[in-house]
Amino acid sequence: MTSNIVLSEVEYNVVGKRHIRPDGVDKVTGRAQYGADVQLTGLLQGRVLRSPHAHARVISIDTSAAEAHPGVFAVVTAADLPFASLTRDDLGGDYQRLKFASNHVMASDKVLFKGHPVAAVAAESQHVAEEAINLIKVDYEVIPPSMTVRQAMEPDASLLHDDLFTSELGQLSDKPSNVASHMAFEAGDIDEGIKQADVVLEREFETASVHQGYIEPHNSTAFWNTDGQLNIWTSTQGPFVVRTNVADILRHPVSRVKVTPMEIGGGFGGKITAYLEPIAALLSKKSARPVKLLMSRTEVFEASGPAPGTWMKVKLGATSEGKITAADIFLAFEAGAYPGSPVMQGAACALACYDVPNARINGYDVVVNKPKTAAYRAPGSPQAAFAVESVIDEICEQLGVDPVEFRLRNASREGVRRVEGPVFRRIGLVECLEAARNHDHYKMPLNGPNQGRGIAAGFWFNRGFQSAVNISVNPDGTVNLIEGSVDIGGSRASIAQQAAETLGIAYEDVKPTVVDTDSIGYTMVTGGSRTTFATGWAAIEAAEDVKMQMVERAAKIWDTPVEDVEYADGALSHKSDPELRMTFRELARQLLGTGGGITGASNVDPTGEGNGFGVHLVDVEVDPDTGKVTILRYTAVQDAGKAIHPSYVEGQMQGGVVQGIGWALNEEYFFNDQGQMMNSSFLDYRMPTALDLPMIDTVIVEVANPGHPYGVRGVGEVPIVPPLPAIGCAISHAIGNRINRLPANPGAVLEAMG
């Protein structure tokens, strides 16, 4: 039985090979420095006091006892944030945005979720800081919380913000509401599409809030020097985003904020927002000492972004030949305490796998008394896919059409226009469906009672955005590559591989280093499935710049016009004089004596990202007595465009699948009726362990992205999209009833069995 298949069309020298990652030895020996490992002279430890209530007015805060506690060096509250002394007149149109950003970091007038920061302390140790926060007295006036979109959308719902007005298709409404915005996409004629259908199904779905679950808690260390220079060491996917956030919230010049990204212990979209950094900075400013803040696991659950819980309705029409004629979709996503759920992305992803002539998607972004949601791998797409793919599966059942065949009949391909407007360039969904159909998993029948098979497709746009890379040539022919992309899962390797391939030198001759925000040009987050694509692109451009300068130098040394010199396969040669030839290494040795060193530099913002698709197959077995679901076999197929490092592509696929399995089967924020999370530990918020899983088989399909020199498509997001519907459908087939609510934990499955 094959387990990891790569269907390659094009072979390269370095790209596509499974090299050892440059940071590997440090990470298997415990030497790598993560955010919590930072040590500085005079370092203080901080703790944050957080609201015990999901919704309350802050009447007063008395910090005097904490300040007097021995070993305490600083105490801060929202009164120390610049926003406290700014008015609507000072800020104009920026007022609400800054208010939300500042209050999210530390609540001023109201707390909006359990875990919302209200004060913080810096002390000589964690334990002393902990003692001190317990001495802070906060008077609250508790307000009933709005915990779900359904509750929050009621006309008489308890309001989180009295100055939040619905943006109704772009127009501001005049009554405050928990609905931050209503957006819509429409294509074709929905009524006509429904008329053409032979079968029309309408179903309603719900999914719970889930957490990204990175194993490393948030952390931040800050030192605010007396000259105003603010240095921050933190675990983040986006050091430049943190720099912007911190400068914005603290009203400090960007050039005076330096963010050093430490090694990062997972993020999945959840480590982009600045949570602790501004607080650590303020504590440092007050104490004139460096301050480290660490979140506990409970704080991570209660105060850093979950992915939104959702309420969704899908109406789908198809002909008896299995052609989709119409789709009408309603999506309501929890934003958490402040606006900004990924409902727009969910809406744009919902139908992206199919050519749907008539479609309407309405999306609602709704604030609720939960932590502000954050991105989580393909934000919005897994929930939307759960709803749409489940209805498609039911239509296939009703029509008696093979689910892969049905999807092939409707699959998006080059030239198809998406409901929100863009037209697909070359994409690989059809190839993924065919690879799934050809896989022995698909051909192998199930072999027992209470088993079911599910299949589902998934989509993510993939992203471009800005990246910068510098490459300097060393006298021995090796190069140093400087990048701004935090390495969260092997990207030092995949970026170095692209540079080596472009320069025609060995992988081992490229030494990549991730640096702070002072030391490289603007680089967007490691996220959105953009790093290997966009920072890879920057590496290629920087390498091309090196090549050009090497050609110029060779021309100078040979005293010949630049046009006569050629760079190929890591060597320079004279086009007409075969005697004149130098390898990269030979020329590198001469650089310092012939005009100085060479550094290639690039700042890019590539727009040719290739959209990503995956198709997953899963077999499950349901215990008829307990409702417990066991994953028997799992196969993930995905178009990677070109897998620069196949092992890390497989790793992204397998990791995404397993997060999806957790989302589908177990994971959920469980609240009591006061809106307090009841399962904020790894024991109770049960993520999959090694024992819960089989091997996760993979098939990498390579349909080159025409928008990248090596054909790269991002890969990190797609794999979390299909598991929700695939598993839901597999359970549905095993028990003979539909699963329309996640997680499908044993209780829910028993209930669905009736």
Partner 1 sequence: MPGLVHVSTTINGNPTDFLCEPRQSLLEVLRDVLGMTGTKEGCNDGNCGACTVMFDGRIVTSCLVLGVEAQGKEISTIEGVASPEGLHPVQQAFLENAALQCGICTPGFIVAAKALLDREPDADEGRIRHWLAGNLCRCTGYDKIVRAVLDAEDKMKA
Of the pair 261, 707, the CB lying nearest ligand FES is at 261
Of the pair 263, 541, the CB lying nearest ligand FES is at 263
* Range in contact with partner 1 (rule: CB under 8 A) among 222-230, 378-386, 593-601, 683-691: 683-691
Kindly list the strands in the beta sheet with 741-742, ordered across the sheet, starting from the edge strand earlier in the chain.
171-176, 165-168, 179-187, 358-367, 324-336, 310-318, 199-207, 741-742
**How far, in Å, CA of 673 to CA of 54, rounded?**
10
Of the pair 266, 746, the CB lying nearest ligand FES is at 266
What's the closest the beta carbon of residue 390 comes to partner 1, in angstroms? 23
Question: What is the secondary structure of 330-345 as a DSSP string?
Answer: EEEEEEESSS--THHH
* Range in contact with partner 1 (rule: CB under 8 A) among 87-95, 349-357, 448-456, 653-661: 653-661
In order of 26, 73, 310, 383, 400, the CA distances from 380 in angstroms are 35, 43, 9, 6, 30
Sign of CA dihedral 485, 491, 493, 496: negative
711 binds, options ligand FES, partner 1, none, Cβ within 5 to 8 A by partner type: none
Question: What is the secondary structure of 371-413 as a DSSP string?
Answer: PPP---SSTTHHHHHHHHHHHHHHHHHHHT--HHHHHHHHB--
* Residue of minimal Cβ distance to ligand FES: 215
In order of 231, 550, 590, the CA distances from 571 in angstroms are 43, 10, 14
The helix/strand/coil state of 145 is coil
Contacts to partner 1 from residues 318-377, by CB under 8 A: none
193 binds, options partner 1, ligand FES, none, Cβ within 5 to 8 A by partner type: none
681 binds, options partner 1, ligand FES, none, Cβ within 5 to 8 A by partner type: partner 1
413 CB contacts (<8 Å, ≥6 apart)? 355, 424, 427, 429, 430
What's the closest the beta carbon of residue 368 comes to partner 1, in angstroms? 25
Instruction: Check residue 46 for interaction with partner 1 (CB under 8 A).
Output: no
**How far, in Å, CA of 516 to CA of 523, rounded?**
10
Of the pair 324, 696, the CB lying nearest partner 1 is at 696
Cα angle 333, 271, 97 (rounded to 5 degrees) comes to 60
Instruction: Check residue 269 for interaction with partner 1 (CB under 8 A).
Output: no
Please report, as a single letter, which amino acid is at residue 30.
Answer: G
* Range in contact with partner 1 (rule: CB under 8 A) among 98-106, 258-266, 536-544, 668-676: 258-266
* Range in contact with partner 1 (rule: CB under 8 A) among 211-219, 243-251, 596-604, 620-628: 211-219
Among 113, 140, 205, 268, interactor with partner 1 by CB under 8 A? 268
Of the pair 59, 215, the CB lying nearest ligand FES is at 215
What's the closest the beta carbon of residue 585 comes to partner 1, in angstroms? 27
Of the pair 562, 695, the CB lying nearest partner 1 is at 695
Among 171, 678, 689, 747, interactor with partner 1 by CB under 8 A? 689
What's the closest the beta carbon of residue 7 comes to partner 1, in angstroms? 19
Binding mask 293-322 for partner 1 (x = CB under 8 A): -x-xx-------------------------
What's the closest the beta carbon of residue 266 comes to ligand FES, in angstroms? 5
The answer to whether 712 touches 533, Cβ cutoff 8 Å, is: yes
What's the closest the beta carbon of residue 409 comes to partner 1, in angstroms? 32
| Chain positions contacting ligand FES, by CB under 6 A | 215, 266
What's the closest the beta carbon of residue 292 comes to ligand FES, in angstroms? 17
- What radius of gyration do the chain's Cα atoms show? 27
Among 120, 392, 658, 704, interactor with partner 1 by CB under 8 A? 658
The 8 Å CB, 24+ separation contacts for 424-427 are 424/611, 425/610, 425/611, 425/706, 425/707, 426/610, 426/703, 426/704, 426/705, 426/706, 427/610, 427/611, 427/613, 427/639, 427/703
What's the closest the beta carbon of residue 68 comes to partner 1, in angstroms? 18
Instruction: Check residue 535 for interaction with partner 1 (CB under 8 A).
Output: no
* Range in contact with partner 1 (rule: CB under 8 A) among 35-43, 401-409, 504-512, 600-608: 35-43
* Range in contact with partner 1 (rule: CB under 8 A) among 179-187, 456-464, 485-493, 553-561: 485-493
Cα angle 553, 558, 563 (rounded to 5 degrees) comes to 70
In order of 118, 122, 222, the CA distances from 288 in angstroms are 21, 11, 10
Among 650, 667, 702, 717, interactor with partner 1 by CB under 8 A? 650
482 CB contacts (<8 Å, ≥6 apart)? 469, 470, 471, 472, 512, 513, 515, 519, 520
**CB-based burial, 516-550: b 16+ in 10 Å, e otherwise:** bbeebbebbbbbbbbbbbbbbbbbbbbbbbbbebb
Place of tokens 């609540």: 107
743: cis peptide before it, omega within 30°?
yes
Instruction: Check residue 488 for interaction with partner 1 (CB under 8 A).
Output: yes
What's the closest the beta carbon of residue 649 comes to partner 1, in angstroms? 10
Of the pair 215, 444, the CB lying nearest ligand FES is at 215
The helix/strand/coil state of 28 is helix
Of the pair 146, 235, the CB lying nearest ligand FES is at 235
**How far, in Å, CA of 92 to CA of 89, rounded?**
5
Count the residues of the shown chain that bind partner 1, applying the rule CB under 8 A. Answer: 60
Of the pair 293, 748, the CB lying nearest partner 1 is at 293
Instruction: Check residue 627 for interaction with partner 1 (CB under 8 A).
Output: no
693 binds, options partner 1, ligand FES, none, Cβ within 5 to 8 A by partner type: partner 1
Tokens of 669: 């924020």
* Range in contact with partner 1 (rule: CB under 8 A) among 58-66, 290-298, 597-605, 729-737: 290-298
The helix/strand/coil state of 551 is helix
Beta strands 741-742 and 199-207, pairing class: parallel
What are the start-end ranges of the E strands in 157-228?
Answer: 165-168, 171-176, 179-187, 199-207, 210-211, 219-224
Measured in whole angstroms, how far is the alpha carbon of residue 485 from the centre of its chain?
14
Instruction: Check residue 30 for interaction with partner 1 (CB under 8 A).
Output: yes
Instruction: Check residue 717 for interaction with partner 1 (CB under 8 A).
Output: no
Of the pair 38, 712, the CB lying nearest partner 1 is at 38
What's the closest the beta carbon of residue 539 comes to ligand FES, in angstroms? 24
Among 80, 206, 263, 621, interactor with partner 1 by CB under 8 A? 263
Of the pair 78, 123, the CB lying nearest partner 1 is at 123
**How far, in Å, CA of 728 to CA of 499, rounded?**
42
The answer to whether 619 touches 632, Cβ cutoff 8 Å, is: yes
Of the pair 55, 292, the CB lying nearest partner 1 is at 292
32 binds, options ligand FES, partner 1, none, Cβ within 5 to 8 A by partner type: partner 1
What's the closest the beta carbon of residue 160 comes to ligand FES, in angstroms? 33
Q: How many CA atoms lie within 13 A of 216 on its CB side?
A: 22
Q: How far apart are the first and last CA of the chain?
A: 37
Of the pair 278, 660, the CB lying nearest partner 1 is at 660
Among 14, 111, 696, 724, interactor with partner 1 by CB under 8 A? 696
Among 16, 336, 464, 489, interactor with partner 1 by CB under 8 A? 489
At residue 675, what are phi and psi to the nearest 5 degrees?
80, 20
Instruction: Check residue 36 for interaction with partner 1 (CB under 8 A).
Output: yes
Q: Where does this chain bind partner 1 (CB under 8 A)?
A: 18, 20-21, 23-25, 27-34, 36-37, 39, 126-127, 212-217, 263-268, 294, 296-297, 488-490, 645, 647-648, 650-652, 654-659, 681-683, 687-691, 693, 695-696
